[in-house]
Amino acid sequence: MAELSTSEKEHVQTELDKLNEAVAKTTDFSEKLELKDKIHNMQMILNGTKPYGSIQYFCEGCGS
């Protein structure tokens, strides 16, 4: 798996920041779950656990 470029890492981090802000602002439980799932997927991309561009796939490996 190829490592993310600096600009790709910055883009993913910007998206993570937006998602974290959205989680802090919402009071709807199901919306928070959906946002936290997206955050989890983005963090996996940043950590090199998940290939960049595969955000549309669901994580089933850890059972979350």
**Which pLDDT belongs to residue 57?**
52
Whose structure tokens read 């993310």?
4
Q: What does the domain layout of the chain look like in residue ranges?
A: 7-46
pTM of the predicted structure, to 2 decimals:
0.72
Which is higher by pLDDT, 25 or 52? 25
Cβ pair 26, 35 in contact under 8 A: yes
Above 90 in pLDDT, residue 61? no
Q: Average pLDDT, whole number, for the chain?
A: 82
Helix axes 29-46, 6-25, angle to 10 degrees: 160
